[in-house]
């Protein structure tokens, strides 16, 4: 009886396996039949037919990882054999062709998406036919990522203190296509991602962090995950209280109910140490108002550590354009570029905290300000200065900004009018035609 | 249906359409009238940032000269220009006329709001509990004072005597709030310069919600907001040199004026004021003048 049951079970399993195989083979047959039928190809005239002309593919097919449609000879899954409006005789835009099969790579709820994937430039990372690297990648490991992310490569190579997962591969922490959880394609939120390796309850860890419960904090406000020249891979520019482990200079004690709460709000906290600077600011007529907002100094500065000088949160041009995007865009549109802006050095002309001059210019005289770089213009130029009244407005004198707009215009030499003659005849009306 | 009934229906529809058009669809333009370059003694304006007006008075915060100037408006013509210069006023950036023609000035250097008598005598600074950093303020038709406190991310509402009545929290995820305005029915509007968004809080509300998003398609850097008696919103576009008009329903109704030196044009316009007669004044900061326009509907 028992033997009979076993036999029946085996037959059932064979039938089940047979049925699954049949369905699978039928599907492959149907797909190939469809693509054959679509172009009315002769029986067997699939990839083989293409290879008659595309002879180099014989070598490509020998590579370790071959894209499935190439392997099965389904060239027409991606290419149109007769005519196409897209490059490489593709049947659609590059990205769209890939998405026909790989539509699940970027979820609708993605928190961050790799720009390359979003724009459908899959072939920047993958070889659509074959490769000797897994996933048909053009290069193996970090070499591929560093092809574009050169600045990160540079900092990784230079870093005195390395973060081991970086050497293991960027994909240790990042998803290459999109992440549903983290920013910057991180596989998880911070600190959850870091806590997968770092044990926060170890005495040495707690000691390093002055017993503050950093397991709930964002590690990347202090640490550079790609490595750094500072011990503990802190960002290269560290706020002194952090480097001297004086967290309680700004924060409540680690044993308190709210250990991360700061002792004072906004600029009042920073004033404790930077009193001269704050007092100097308050002696000026014009303030950079974000300084007095609730965020205070943290509107622009990082309180812990950063890659930027002066503990700026981001490179100056990026930081300033967060609020003054119109000004930065004007420069981008301008035919002639003003080097200090192009180089992202806004403080060549502006004082970031406070000054007595409009636009927080660091010089009361526009002519002297421009003259710091354009020195010759001060003595061999159109008459400018306090003695020369602007004919358009009796309350203004002629100076550099009478003709130029320092952040650029749509005209050459960032003049206010399309032609030189139009500019000059604004004042010299007698020469107007 | 009788002919009388048809005429009645036609009239009702016609009047309704006229009302809708007058309320929401009217075209608003500002026509240049005159410019103020100096006080009554011929001393020139320097980087003026503030203007306040009612039907009879115009006040100018002549910021660069640390003074106020007072003019009278008679049949659309400006007269006077007497200087008000007091030691309590170091850097006047915004000015408002309160109930009983009291003068209120925001001093950007001191970060205080000064209260002056109608003839320009210093009375007091507005006092607040705790650390308050005013960036701007406005006064409604009942004399209540609305203070933009950027340090505590709120609008403080004070009564005529200067006592706090209520406060309204800033919206979440704002950029930088530069100015506020009160419409005739008591709604409070906030202007977010960096995100180019206007927020609204209804009369009794304790929080703001977006009223008009996506203004950065039209405006460079809006810095000042004013609302006229009909609820039309005017924004001065600091970097664009224009006045942007927003309808009561939030629709963008176009730019007025433009960037330039000549009369009628603006460079880095600051505070705006409009009186019930339709006189429209702009502090034309970088042109060292105040310009008067007439609102045409």
pLDDT tens digits along A341-382: 999 999 999 999 999 999 999 999 999 999 999 987 767 789
Would you say A121 and A95 are in contact if contact means Cβ atoms under 8 Å apart? yes
Would you call A394 an interface residue with chain B, using a CB distance cutoff of 8 Å? yes
Residue A323 at interface with chain B, using a CB cutoff of 8 Å: yes
Q: How confident is the model at residue B4 (pLDDT cuts 50, 70, 90)?
A: confident
Cβ count within 10 A of residue B188: 22
Is the Cβ pair A285, B47 closer than 8 Å? no
pLDDT in tens, chain A (433 residues): 445 566 777 777 777 877 777 776 666 555 555 554 566 666 666 677 788 888 888 888 889 999 998 888 888 889 988 899 998 899 888 878 898 889 888 888 899 999 999 888 999 999 999 999 999 999 998 999 999 999 999 999 999 999 999 999 999 999 999 999 999 999 999 999 999 999 999 999 999 999 999 998 999 999 999 999 999 999 999 999 999 999 999 999 999 999 999 999 999 999 999 999 999 999 999 999 999 999 999 999 999 999 999 999 999 999 999 999 999 999 999 999 999 999 999 999 999 999 999 999 999 999 999 999 998 776 778 999 999 999 999 999 999 999 999 999 999 999 999 999 999 999 999 998 8
Give B181→chain A minimum CA distance, Å: 19
Q: Is B150 on the interface with A (CB under 8 A)?
A: yes
For residue B244, list its beta bridge partners: B235, B255
What whole-number distance in Å separates Cα of residue B245 and Cα of residue B234? 5
Shortest distance, CA B107 to any CA of chain A (angstroms): 9
Q: Contacts from B109-115 at CB under 8 Å and sequence distance 24+?
A: B109/A284, B109/A285, B109/A286, B111/A292, B113/B137, B113/B145, B113/B147, B114/B88, B114/B89, B115/B162
Q: Where are the alpha helices (DSSP H) in A73-114?
A: 94-99
Min CA distance, A307 vs chain B (Å)?
Answer: 24
Tell whether B152 lies on the interface with A, counting CB pairs under 8 A: yes
pLDDT digits (tens, 9 = 90+) for B28-49: 999 999 999 999 999 999 999 9
Nearest alpha-carbon partner for B104 in B86, B125, B81: B125
Tell me which chain B residues have a C-beta less than 8 angstroms from the C-beta of A358. 47, 268, 285-286
Is B94 at the interface with chain A, CB within 8 A?
A: no
Note whether B99 and B142 are within 8 A (CB): yes
Question: Which residues from A are below 8 Å from B197, CB to CB?
Answer: none
H or E element at residue A355? strand A354-355
Cα separation of A22 and A154, whole Å?
54
Find, among A433, A423, A374, the residue nearest to A398 by Cα: A423
Nearest Cα residue to A408 out of A320, A309, A341, A354: A341
Contact A289 B262 (CB under 8 A): no
pLDDT digits (tens, 9 = 90+) for B44-101: 999 999 999 999 999 999 999 999 999 999 988 999 999 999 999 999 999 999 989 9
Task: Compute the mean pLDDT over every residue in chain B, rounded to the nearest whole number.
Answer: 93
How far apart CA A246 and CA A428 sit, in angstroms, is 65
The answer to whether residue B19 scores a pLDDT higher than 60 is no
Q: Which of B47, B152, B220 sits opposite A326 (nearest CB)?
A: B220
Between chain A and chain B, the number of residue pairs with CB atoms below 8 A apart is 75
**What per-residue confidence (pLDDT) applies to A42?**
66
Q: What is the pLDDT of residue A2?
A: 47
Beta-sheet strand order (sheet of B177-182): B177-182, B188-192, B197-201, B209-212
pLDDT at B213: 87
Radius of gyration of chain A from Cα atoms?
A: 32
Query: A131 in helix, strand or coil?
Result: strand
Residues of chain B with Cβ-Cβ distance to A289 below 8 Å are 135, 150, 176, 178
Min Cα distance A28 → chain B (Å) is 51
Task: Name every chain B residue with its beta carbon within 8 A of the beta carbon of A323.
Answer: 175-176, 193-194
The verdict on whether omega for the bond into residue A191 sits within 30 degrees of 0, i.e. cis, is yes
The region of weakest confidence among A93-97, B9-13, B53-57, B144-148 is B9-13
∠ CA A346-A348-A353, nearest 5°, is 65
For A305, the enclosing helix (H) or strand (E) is strand A305-306
Considering only CA atoms, give the Rg of chain B: 20
Are B176 and A284 a contacting pair at CB < 8 A?
no
The H-assigned helical ranges of A74-214 are 94-99, 115-118, 141-146, 150-158, 164-168, 192-195, 203-208
Reduced to 3 states, what is the DSSP secondary structure of residue A415?
strand
Distance CA A66, CA B110 (A): 72
B45 touches chain A (CB under 8 A): yes
- Residue in the block written with tokens 């420069």: A331
d(CA A132, CA A143): 14
Question: Chain A closest CA to B54's CA: distance in Å?
Answer: 26
Q: Is B259's pLDDT higher than 90?
A: yes
* Structure-token pair, residue A306: 């950063």
Rounded Cα gap, residues B155 and A116, in angstroms:
44
Of B47, B150, B194, the CB nearest to A323: B194
* B80 phi-psi bin (left φ>0, alpha ψ -120 to 50, beta other): left
> pLDDT digits over B90-111, tens only?
999 999 999 899 999 999 999 9
Q: Which residue has the higher pLDDT, B110 or B22?
A: B110
> From CA B45, how far away is CA A34, in angstroms rounded?
81
Share of chain A above pLDDT 70, in %: 93
As a whole number of Å, the end-to-end CA separation of chain B is 38
pTM of the predicted structure, to 2 decimals: 0.82
Burial B225-246 (b: 16+ CB within 10 A, else e): bbbbebebbbbbbbbbbbbbbb
Whether pLDDT at B14 is above 70: no
Give A214→chain B minimum CA distance, Å.
25
Which tokens belong to A94? 């590059």
**A226 to chain B nearest CA, in Å?**
30
Q: How far apart are CA B195 and CA B256, in angstroms?
A: 21
Min Cα separation A67/chain B (Å): 45
Per-residue pLDDT at A32: 52
Contact flag A292-B261 (C-beta cutoff 8 Å): no
B contact test, residue of A269, A282, A289 with most B CBs within 10 A: A289
Alpha helices in A197-237 (DSSP H): 203-208
| Torsion-angle region of A95 (φ positive above 0: left; ψ -120 to 50: alpha; else: beta) | alpha
| Contact residues for A13 (Cβ-Cβ < 8 A; gap 6+) | none
- End-to-end, the C-alpha distance of chain A in Å comes to 115
Q: Does A290 touch chain B (CB under 8 A)?
A: yes
Length of chain A: 433
Residue B153 forms contact with A (CB below 8 Å) = yes
* Residues of chain A found within 8 Å of residue B176, distances taken between Cβ atoms: 289-290, 293, 323
Of A292, A358, A390, the CB nearest to B133: A292
- Do the Cβ atoms of A326 and B221 come within 8 Å? yes
Band of pLDDT at residue B17, cut at 50, 70 and 90: low
- Rounded to 10 degrees, the C-alpha dihedral A402/A407/A409/A413 comes to 70
The three state secondary structure string of chain B is: CCHHHHHHHHHHHHHHHHHHHHHHHCCCEEEEEEEECECCCCCECCCCCEEEECCCEEEEEEHHHCEEEEEEEECCEEEEEEEECCCCCCCEEEEEECHHHCEEEEECCCCEEEEECCCCCEEEECCCCCCCCEEEEEECCCCCEEEEECCCCEEEEECCCCCEEEEEECCCCCCCEEEEEECCCCCEEEEECCCCEEEEECCCCCECEEEECCHHHCCCCEEEEEECCCCCEEEEECCCCEEEEECCCCCEEEEECCECCCCCCECCEEEEEECCCCEEEEEEHHHCEEEEEEEEC
Instruction: Characterize the bridge pairing of strands A397-398 and A385-389.
Output: antiparallel
Residue written as token pair 């503050």: A212
Question: Is B124 part of the contact surface with chain A (CB cutoff 8 Å)?
Answer: no
Give the span between the Cα atoms of B282 and B88, in whole angstroms: 25
Which residue among B151, B286, B289 places its CB closest to the CB of A294? B151
Interface test with B, best of A322, A327, A395 (most B CBs within 10 A): A395
């Amino acid at each position: 009886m028992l033997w009979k049951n076993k036999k029946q079970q085996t037959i059932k399993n064979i039938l089940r396996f047979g049925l699954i195989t049949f369905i699978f083979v039928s599907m492959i047959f149907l797909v190939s039949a469809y693509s054959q039928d679509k172009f009315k190809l002769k029986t067997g005239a699939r990839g083989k037919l293409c290879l008659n002309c595309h002879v180099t593919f014989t070598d490509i097919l020998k590579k370790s990882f071959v894209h499935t449609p190439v392997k099965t000879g389904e060239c027409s899954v991606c290419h149109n054999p007769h005519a196409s409006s897209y490059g490489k005789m593709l049947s659609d835009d590059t990205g769209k062709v890939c998405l026909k099969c790989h539509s699940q790579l970027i979820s609708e709820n993605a928190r961050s998406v790799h720009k390359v994937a979003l724009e459908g430039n899959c072939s920047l990372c993958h070889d659509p036919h074959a490769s000797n690297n897994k996933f048909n990648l053009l290069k193996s490991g970090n070499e591929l990522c560093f092809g574009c992310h050169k600045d990160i490569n540079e900092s990784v190579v230079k870093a005195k203190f390395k973060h081991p997962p970086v050497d293991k591969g960027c994909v240790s922490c990042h998803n290459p296509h999109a992440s549903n959880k983290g920013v910057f394609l991180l596989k998880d939120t911070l600190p959850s991602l870091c806590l997968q390796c770092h044990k926060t309850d170890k005495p040495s860890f707690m000691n390093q962090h002055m017993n503050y419960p950093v397991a709930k904090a964002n590690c990347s406000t202090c640490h550079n995950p790609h490595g750094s020249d500072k011990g503990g891979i802190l960002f290269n520019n560290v706020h002194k209280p952090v480097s001297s482990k004086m967290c309680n200079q700004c924060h409540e004690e680690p044993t308190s109910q709210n250990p991360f709460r700061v002792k004072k709000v906004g600029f009042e906290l920073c004033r404790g140490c930077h009193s001269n600077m704050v007092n100097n600011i308050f002696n000026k007529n014009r303030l950079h108002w974000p300084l007095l907002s609730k965020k205070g100094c943290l509107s622009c500065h990082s309180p812990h550590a950063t890659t930027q000088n002066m503990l700026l949160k981001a490179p100056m041009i990026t930081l300033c354009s967060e609020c003054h995007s119109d000004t930065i865009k004007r420069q981008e549109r301008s035919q002639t570029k003003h080097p200090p802006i192009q180089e992202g050095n806004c403080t060549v002309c502006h004082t970031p905290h406070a000054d007595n001059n409009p636009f927080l210019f660091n010089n009361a005289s526009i002519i002297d300000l421009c003259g710091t770089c354009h020195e010759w213009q001060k003595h061999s130029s159109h008459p400018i200065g306090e003695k020369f009244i602007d004919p358009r407005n009796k309350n203004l004198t002629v100076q550099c900004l009478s003709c130029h707009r320092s952040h650029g215009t749509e005209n050459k030499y960032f003049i206010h009018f399309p032609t030189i003659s139009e500019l000059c005849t604004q004042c010299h009306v007698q020469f107007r035609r | 249906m009788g002919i009388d009934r048809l005429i009645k229906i036609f009239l009702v529809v016609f009047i309704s359409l006229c009302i809708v058009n007058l309320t929401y669809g009217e075209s608003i333009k500002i026509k240049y009238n005159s410019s103020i370059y100096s006080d009554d003694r011929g001393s020139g304006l320097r980087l003026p940032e503030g203007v306040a007006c009612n039907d009879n008075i115009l006040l100018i915060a002549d910021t660069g000269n640390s003074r106020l100037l007072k003019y009278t408006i008679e049949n659309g013509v400006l007269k006077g220009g007497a200087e008000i210069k007091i030691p309590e006023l170091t850097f006047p950036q915004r000015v408002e006329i309160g109930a009983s023609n009291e003068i209120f000035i925001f001093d950007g250097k001191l970060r205080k709001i000064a209260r002056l008598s109608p003839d320009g005598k210093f009375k007091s600074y507005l006092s607040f509990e705790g650390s308050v950093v005013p960036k701007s303020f406005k006064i409604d038709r009942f004399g209540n004072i609305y203070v933009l406190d950027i340090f505590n991310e709120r609008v403080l509402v004070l009564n005529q005597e200067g006592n706090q009545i209520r406060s309204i929290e800033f919206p979440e995820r704002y950029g930088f709030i530069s100015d506020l305005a009160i419409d005739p029915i008591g709604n409070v509007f906030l202007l977010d310069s960096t995100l180019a968004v206007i927020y609204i809080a209804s009369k009794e509300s304790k929080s703001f919600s977006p009223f008009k998003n996506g203004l950065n398609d039209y405006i460079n850097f809006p810095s000042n907001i004013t609302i006229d008696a009909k609820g039309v919103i005017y924004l001065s576009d600091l970097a664009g040199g224009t006045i942007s008009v927003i309808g009561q329903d939030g629709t963008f109704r176009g730019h007025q004026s433009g960037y330039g030196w000549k009369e009628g044009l603006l460079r880095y316009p600051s505070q705006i004021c409009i009186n019930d007669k339709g006189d429209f004044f702009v502090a034309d900061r970088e042109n060292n003048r105040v310009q008067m326009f007439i609102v045409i509907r």
